[in-house]
Amino acid sequence: MARFENKGVIVTGGASGFGAAISKAFAAEGARVMVADIDEAGAKELAASLPNAIAFQIDVTDEERTAAMAQAAVDAWGSIDVVATNAGLPHRTNPLIETPTEDFDFMWAINVKSIYLAAKYCVPHMNEGGSIVSTASIGGRRPRPGLTAYNASKGAAITLTRGLATELAPKIRVNCVAPVSSPTGFDKNAVGIDTLPEALEKQVVAGIPMGRRAAPEDVANAIVYLASDEASFLTGVCLDVDGGRSIQ
């Protein structure tokens, strides 16, 4: 299929983890993809491996760079069809009252403000029928101890999605996905190690009825669906990509 033939798609945090899978999935559907990432070398490397892709270096918490990202997309394509606001990070796992204030502030900057900035600068250039899809977290619905600031920011991302959807309908649809834990860079940022110890991995998986953590492709497939015409009547939706964790 080529559901996004000649559509212009921006993917923030697009060079690794969920973002790389999202970039690849849209490219496979015929889209012209902007791989936007703070890792310029990684963005360029991935973009070079995809058809009709370009790279853009961005700190998504920076307003000027976000405005420049939108302009770069317009310069390349003339307009924007999809913005996958995927960039985000957790803080190091610890109790909320032990979380450094700067870590708390950073959660809101990278997980919430980044969506606001992307919308502010991309929406004026988006085509009728365009779509914004953000990456939230199942922690925004079912928070658990140790990542409270992160989970609160993802809960805010879900509410931002719903509010923005009401403001931009019917021209632009706004949705988000809520993934469960995934063996990506999340582990490194949350617990400081690249791979979870076997005992902790089993503990995490035990709370997921489908018996595994999310793969990047699971998240990419959900985002591509929400951005597609097949989901043309869906807006303000938060799609749980959690293997059933939220029903436990």
Residues of the chain with pLDDT under 50: none
Question: Among this protein's residues, is 150 annotated catalytic?
Answer: yes
pTM here is: 0.95
The per-residue pLDDT for 189 is 61
Quote the CA–CA distance of 100 and 82 in Å, as a whole number.
Answer: 35
Q: Of 29, 15, 16, nearest to 82 (Cα)?
A: 29
Report the b/e string of 144-165 with b at 16+ CB within 10 A: eebbbbbbbbbbbbbebbeebb
CATH architecture of 8-240: 3-Layer(aba) Sandwich (3.40)
Interval 16-72: pLDDT, tens? 999 999 999 999 999 999 999 999 999 999 999 999 999 999 999 999 999 999 999
The per-residue pLDDT for 181 is 84
The residue behind tokens 């029903």 is 247
Residue in 116, 121, 150, 225 annotated catalytic: 150
Contacts of 61 (CB under 8 A, 6+ apart): 106, 109, 110, 113, 114, 117
Here the tokens at position 140 are 């925004």
User: Residue 84: which H helix or E strand, with range?
Assistant: strand 80-85
The per-residue pLDDT for 218 is 97
The per-residue pLDDT for 197 is 74
The per-residue pLDDT for 199 is 80
Here the tokens at position 19 are 């973002």
The per-residue pLDDT for 94 is 93
The per-residue pLDDT for 200 is 77
Cα of first residue to Cα of last residue in the chain, in angstroms, is 35
Residue type, position 52, single letter: N
Each domain of the chain, given as residue ranges in start order, spans: 8-240
